[in-house]
Structure 1
Amino acid sequence: MRLTPDEGDLTARAFARLDARLTRDTGRPVALALSGGGDSIALLRLATEWARARGRSVLALTVDHGLNPESGGWTAFAAEAARAAGADWCGLSWDGDKPQTGLTAAARAARHGLIAQAAREAGARVVLFAQTADDIAEADLMRSEGSTLGRVREWSPSPAWPQGRGLMLLRPLLGERRAVLRDWLAGQGADWIEDPANVDPKFGRSRARQALAGAAPPAPEEARALAGGRPTMDGEAMVNVRRDIGARALAAALVCVGGGATPPRGARLQALTARLRAGENFAATLCGARIEAAGDAVRVMREAGDLGRRGTAPQVLTPGVEAVWDGRFTFRAEHPGWSVEAARGRLASLSDADRTEINRLPAATRGAWPVLIRDGALAPVLAGEGVERRALVAERLRLALDETTHEDDLISATR
């Protein structure tokens, strides 16, 4: 079969995008999300060919959501395709009850969480996803009709938190058309799965796909300068921002400081941005974070009341195992008997030295600071012998604001 210029150049374009982001000749695998659909099979073949030439291995990860009676067969097909291409393969399952509403979003979140966890356990720092230019156009149309989907970028942090901490997603096919990928696969005699959900009009993505059939897709979003400058760290877990900060940077600051998984979007974020730009002095809470604006000073901190409303139980530390607390800190204890919880309700029990230290924080966030308790003792401490604490906010914010461009930049994120 004679290839069109687009098809013939596909390998070169994909290799160039992979070369621009990934390290050569290292023992770490590159993870790859493999559904068995045409886009992911094309990515699998391109990535494994690249990896063989660059001294890398590929770990393909397939999630069985259990939502279709054929899903077991699809998983088996993906496993066979991965191994035939020379990749390692791991199957993952979304078990348990499924929600009655918001199933698509829940399935997407579960997929990202399972893939992130497996990738980290395998030592990968980057996961390849097979979104195309058509996916960008479909998501744009869905947002115009009220969806809260974010706009995907070629290089972005994993949306799973805290499973995806320090992990980046790379979409090397984001500038490609879906039809070009399938023509390329057909030229190789390759098979792939066609999920019937892709043409089922009850799904918003399917309706958008049908509405845009034949239309030219938009170009992938490139990294660009952030309006209003970048947030700056204030200690381990607070952030300072300017009043003219852009919505994207403010959303990143809020979700990182709040420790949650979903950044704020829509009307509430726009209203908060507008209040800042109007010069208003105020205190507000969004996404588990508190923002205090007074004059030129605007500070974002964890909202202690949010932790109190959740009624979070003490988190017991298992010796030698890293535990993530409140999405903002990790703890690792050398010996048993330690637990960590919020300082809220325990501030008066701290020693004079610890109380002096914690009083350096703004009053509204002191109760959200972590304290340690040993063997059920009544008095908490800010630090314990043999317990390592690491803050996650600064590193997470760095990844969210495009301050990394390459796999090598992720060393500090996974240390």
Structure 2
Amino acid sequence: MPDNNSPWGSKPGGGKGPNGNGGNSPWGNGPKPTRPQRPNRDNVIEGFKNRTRTGGGGNGGGNGQMPDFKIGPFGPVAIVLGALVVFLLSTMVYTVDQTERALVMRFGDYERTSGPGLHFKFPNPVETLYRQETEIIRKDDIGGNDTKSLMLTGDENIVDIDFTVLWRINNLADYYFEIDDPEVAVKAVAESAMREVIGKNELQKIITTDRLAITTAVRDLMQTTLDEYKAGVRVVEVQLQKADAPDQGGVVAAFRDVVDAAQERETSINQAIAKQNTIVPEARGEAAQILQDAEAYRDRVIAEAQGEAERFNKIYEEYAKAPQVTRQRLYLETIEEVYAPAEKVILDSEGGQGVVPYLPLNQLNGSPRTAGGQ
């Protein structure tokens, strides 16, 4: 059997050369040179290809068949079993994000709810997993067309309503098992609750002043209804986007006039309140000042009256002790008060007899009199 492992290939004929090397000598058939030569690169590549085609001289020999590889004592069975074990282990470990919750079902029946973190379960198909984002806020816009927007009010008018519902999942098990289509149920409950609340209110208040009260009532009614259904949903907020009268026959323009009038009324009321807050304190201050002045006048008059009475009592006591002296004193004091502001001419009776006094009557008549001499 020729040696096919030579990097220089096999020589046709397979005979032995003169050097006994089967004719595969790299130096040809002549005598062996004194120093070896490097092999040709093309021969090396060709020898490598031949070796690959013949199976490398292993168990396949030179017949071109693939060798019989064996891995362990079980062969391919071990590979299949290992892959199965890895697959089962990969289905036993799972993680849940912060915004998610996971339902674990054992043979299709609900087993438990897993929160955020790393968890373990039985491998598939014993226990299966269902994940759902529960912490995100979902948004449903209701209205925008003739059938859902138009609602009947309590005073038998029609109002055009568009509103938005913000909600999230608070119980994933109820959300998944209790209702067939929770999102459709939330929209239906929202529309029903809005129609019920609108039917209990008047159109003017719905458009003007009671918008916040209406959204609060709708949210509470929705939450109560969804809790009865065990929907596993929490209503976060209801936002009233539009509340107008239907745009037919000039109704919108009329109600806008009503709204403007209501706003003007509120403005007038606010201005009146502001004026009241300015005038009333000033009036109260003036009234308090008048009362204080009156009290001061009263105290002064009373004090003067008490002083006069006390003076009279003192004079009376002195009069009782010396009536003649007291009368004379009172007479002199009265004369002093009466004649003090008047023009006076004093004549000396002892100045001389038979002398006619000169009185400047013109000067006396022409001199201005004081207020006390009138």
Q: TM-score, with normalisation over the residues of structure 1?
A: 0.17
Structure with more relative contact order (C-alpha pairs < 8 Å, separation 6 or more): 1
More helix by share: 2
TM-score using structure 2 length: 0.19
